[in-house]
Amino acid sequence: MSAPTARTRVFTILGNPVEHSLSPVIQNAAFREAGVDGVYVALRCDAEQMAGFMSGLGRGGGAGNVTLPHKEKAASILDKPSEAVRRTGACNTFWGEDGKLCGDNTDVEGFRRALEHFLGGAVTGYRVLLLGAGGAARAALLSLIDDQAQDVLILNRTVERARAVARRIGGDRVRVAESHSDVDDGDFDLVINTTRLGLDPEDELPFDLERLSRAGAVMDLVYGSSATAFVAASKRLGIPAVDGGEMLVHQGAVAFERWWGEAAPIDAMRRALETARSSPTGA
């Protein structure tokens, strides 16, 4: 990719906060590797600015991603939501097409691919504890249900939000914990953190794994320049654990496919992520 010109397509990640995001690093690496003419930046914005940014970019040939806490707001702005957006009520990828604002939720497929990579197979028959009930939780839940997880227990700070997610996506394999005591001594093949706890190094852990009788594996959707505290705590207990880095690459690869209509250079994206994480500034 040469220097940007007046023809360069502009991409952005919209959210608040966005400073932690490594999407600009992996997408700009992908654009360079694929030789496409685009530039990707991060834009911190509030909910009421979302419609203006999304439709302005889409009309101008640009596109982008959406991160917390705006994925549900973004879904409500689209003219043409994908099936994944309709089923989750959350959108993380948008672009313009024939004057319409289109959107997808590539977190669903990104989560599925990253989980399969981590487990070395499908989640079929797994008993899962899902922490959180925001946009990322919806994507994870849809993927778990479609891939025949045996059952999923959702634990969220705001119980009503967990109930709403269960009603929207759930079915009879999804239950909601009213409090931590509903989870005590539980036996889970997989524990997934989809809360934002861990983004800030000062955050408490999203869950105390010692309350469980068993946690077979842990996946933390949060990622940073080093292992999250939850991943580190899991490994100290001897539980195999992975953070959200691989999911970031996969959701980004699916977004790249939507925007450019060609396969993403996934190895270049992985390498860019590793380089960013090993640099002192994390970018």
Alpha-carbon distance of 132 to 135, in angstroms, equals 9
The Cα 155–Cα 188 span in angstroms is 13
Q: Which of 71, 73, 80, 235 is catalytic?
A: 71
Size of the site for ligand NAP (CB under 6 A): 27
Whole-number minimum distance, CB 75 to ligand NAP, in Å? Answer: 11
Per-residue contact string for residues 114-143; x = within reach of ligand NAP by CB under 6 A: ------------------xxxxxx------
Of 38, 107, 166, 256, the one binding ligand NAP (CB under 6 A) is 107
220 sits in which H/E element:
strand 218-220
Among 96, 145, 251, 256, binds ligand NAP (CB under 6 A): 251
Helices (H) and strands (E) in the chain, counts: 10, 14
Q: Is 196 in the site for ligand NAP (CB under 6 A)?
A: yes
Q: What is the dihedral of CA 129, 131, 134, 136, to 10 degrees?
A: -70
Considering the rule CB under 6 A, would residue 68 count as an interface residue with ligand NAP?
yes
| Only segment of 2-10, 35-43, 218-226, 258-266 that touches ligand NAP (CB under 6 A) | 218-226
Does the protein bind ligand NAP through residue 230 (CB under 6 A)? no
Q: Which stretch binds ligand NAP (CB under 6 A): 43-51, 173-181, 240-248, 264-272?
A: 240-248
Tell me: does residue 88 bind ligand NAP (CB under 6 A): no
Closer residue to ligand NAP, CB minimum distance, 82 or 195: 195
Q: Identify whether 71 is a catalytic site residue.
A: yes
104 near ligand NAP, rule: CB under 6 A = no
Work out whether 248 is an interface residue with ligand NAP (CB under 6 A).
yes
Question: Does residue 247 bind ligand NAP (CB under 6 A)?
Answer: yes
Q: How far apart are CA 86 and CA 76, in angstroms?
A: 10
Work out how close the CB of 99 gets to ligand NAP at its nearest, in angstroms, rounded to a whole number.
Answer: 28
- The CA–CA distances, whole Å, from 125 to 70, 147, 167, 225 equal 32, 9, 21, 33
CB 249 to ligand NAP: min, Å: 8
- In angstroms, rounded to a whole number, what is the distance separating the alpha carbons of residues 240 and 224? 18
**149-168 positions binding ligand NAP, by CB under 6 A:** 156-158, 161
We find the least distance from the C-beta atom of residue 104 to ligand NAP, in angstroms, to be 13
Q: Which of 37, 38, 48 is nearest to 14 (CA)?
A: 48
**Residues 177-184: contacts with CB within 8 Å, 24+ apart?**
177/153, 180/155, 180/211, 182/153, 182/155, 183/129, 183/153, 183/155, 183/207, 183/211, 183/212, 184/211, 184/212
> What is the spatial distance between Cα 36 and Cα 20, in angstroms, rounded to a whole number?
25
- What residue number has its CB nearest to ligand NAP? 134
CB 168, CB 89: distance < 8 Å = yes
Pull the structure tokens for residue 120.
């070395």
List the catalytic residues.
Answer: 71
- Which residues bind to ligand NAP, rule: CB under 6 A? 68-69, 71, 107, 110, 132-137, 156-158, 161, 194-197, 199, 221-223, 244, 247-248, 251
